[in-house]
């Protein structure tokens, strides 16, 4: 959540007693026991739970997702708490316990609220890098495995980024990227006495962005090699936020990733999907298509007309989860989606 935003509170979670997703890795084949027509569903949630009311409702939202027929997995795109609450180990453990209740595989990529913004006084004045270590030790205890129902996924654990995972389902290459709001964690930590980014902060962000870019390259390389239909990427940061007047100081750190997305999408014959949270308001657009203002903003050469971005509802708009359908070959688009209201 960017400091300049005023939006607050929660997003939805949910699952389904559904066909289990079989083990997959970067070079894995399609899951056995699944139909070969390329038709299945998964859920996307983010910026949830935000605040006490959503924390109380979250178990029922998990139950609803679990009870949704035919969901193969769920992806949480980060921010497991709001930006004005404590970043405690106890809170992290409580969320992990809820994630473990998913009866399908759950893939989680961190957001800024659970570590980069924890320097704030109302967050507990933590060292964000220490909180990042706590997030990894809480949620990524078994690198290469999902939360919820256990499947094997490819992981960047060897590079120190177990949260960056990838897998393949029936011609769709799926990957998470640990890229967050607050200018990918480069906004200063004044409460800790740092009016400008620290050397350790800059080094952490550089390494994390480098590995996110490497994840994008490897995912597209696998997709091209297998002649797959689509690439779907998931991250917390809204790099193309339409809800406020973005400045270069807000989003400058995202430039390497945006440039890589354009380069890789241009070289890929299929469709590209980018799912994010962060800005809290559902949106679907083509931020890197020819003529987009974001191409000039990030000083990008070329465009990516085949990239569609989807922002999930979050914070106080967290009244639904996104159910994504992977359509059968021959459909107008590889993916389609619907916002499913929470019933409790």
Buried residues in 216-248 as b, exposed as e (16+ CB within 10 A): bebbbebbbeeebbbbbbbbbbbbbbebeebee
Q: What is the pLDDT of residues 300-329, one digit of tens each?
A: 999 999 999 999 999 999 999 999 999 999
Residue 236 lies in a domain: yes
Average pLDDT over residues 223-233: 98
Residue 6 lies in a domain: no
The predicted structure's pLDDT at residue 4: 38
Token pair 């070289």 in the structure block, residue: 267
Q: What is the pLDDT of residues 113-156, one digit of tens each?
A: 999 999 999 999 999 999 999 999 999 999 999 999 999 999 99
Residue 120 lies in a domain: yes
Residue 17 lies in a domain: no
pTM for the full predicted model: 0.89
Contact status, residue 96 vs residue 67, Cβ threshold 8 Å: no
Six token digits for residue 249: 């100081």
Residue 190 lies in a domain: yes
The pLDDT-based confidence of 344 (bands split at 50, 70, 90) is confident
Question: What residue spans of the chain are helical by DSSP H?
Answer: 51-66, 89-99, 128-139, 181-185, 199-226, 248-251, 255-266, 293-297
Average pLDDT over residues 212-237: 98
Whole-number average pLDDT of the chain: 90
Average pLDDT over residues 275-283: 97
Token pair 């962005």 in the structure block, residue: 209
Residue 30 lies in a domain: no
Count how many Cα atoms sit within 13 Å of the Cα of residue 98 in the half-sphere of its side chain: 26
Provide the domain limits for residue 211. 40-341
Residue 249 to residue 89: CA distance in whole angstroms? 31
Give the CATH number, domain containing residue 174: 3.60.21.10
Number of domains making up the chain? 1
Residue 5 lies in a domain: no
Residue 93 to residue 145: CA distance in whole angstroms? 18
Percentage helix, strand, coil for the chain under 3-state DSSP, each rounded to 5: 30, 20, 45
Residue 24 lies in a domain: no
């Amino acid at each position: 959540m960017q400091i300049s935003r005023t939006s607050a509170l929660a997003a939805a979670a949910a699952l389904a007693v559904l066909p289990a997703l079989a083990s997959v890795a970067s070079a894995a084949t399609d899951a056995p026991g699944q139909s070969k027509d390329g038709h299945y569903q998964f859920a996307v949630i983010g910026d949830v739970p935000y605040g006490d009311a959503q924390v109380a409702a979250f178990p029922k939202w998990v139950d609803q997702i679990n009870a949704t027929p035919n969901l193969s997995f769920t992806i949480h795109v980060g921010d497991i708490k709001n930006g004005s609450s404590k970043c405690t180990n106890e809170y992290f453990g409580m969320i992990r316990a809820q994630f473990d209740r998913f009866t399908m595989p759950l893939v989680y990529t961190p957001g800024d609220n659970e570590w980069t913004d924890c320097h704030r006084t109302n967050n507990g004045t933590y060292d964000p890098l220490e909180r990042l270590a706590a997030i990894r030790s809480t949620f990524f205890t078994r690198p290469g495995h999902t939360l919820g129902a256990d499947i094997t996924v490819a992981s960047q654990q060897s590079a120190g980024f177990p949260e960056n995972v990838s897998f393949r389902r029936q011609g769709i290459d799926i990957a998470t990227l640990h890229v967050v709001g607050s200018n990918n964690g480069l906004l200063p930590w004044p409460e800790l006495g740092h009016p400008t980014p620290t050397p350790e902060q800059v080094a952490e962000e550089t390494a994390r962005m480098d590995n996110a870019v490497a994840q994008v390259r490897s995912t597209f390389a696998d997709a091209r090699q297998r002649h797959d239909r689509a690439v779907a990427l998931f991250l917390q940061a809204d790099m193309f936020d339409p809800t406020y007047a973005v400045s270069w100081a807000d989003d400058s750190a995202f430039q390497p990733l945006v440039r890589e997305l354009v380069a890789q999408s241009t070289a890929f014959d299929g469709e590209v999907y980018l799912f994010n949270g962060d800005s809290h308001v559902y949106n679907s657009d083509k931020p890197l298509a020819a003529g987009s203002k974001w191409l000039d903003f990030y000083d990008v050469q070329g465009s990516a007309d085949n990239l569609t971005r989807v922002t999930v509802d979050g914070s106080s708009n967290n009244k639904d989860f996104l159910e994504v359908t992977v359509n059968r070959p021959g459909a107008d688009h590889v993916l389609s989606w619907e916002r499913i209201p929470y019933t409790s």
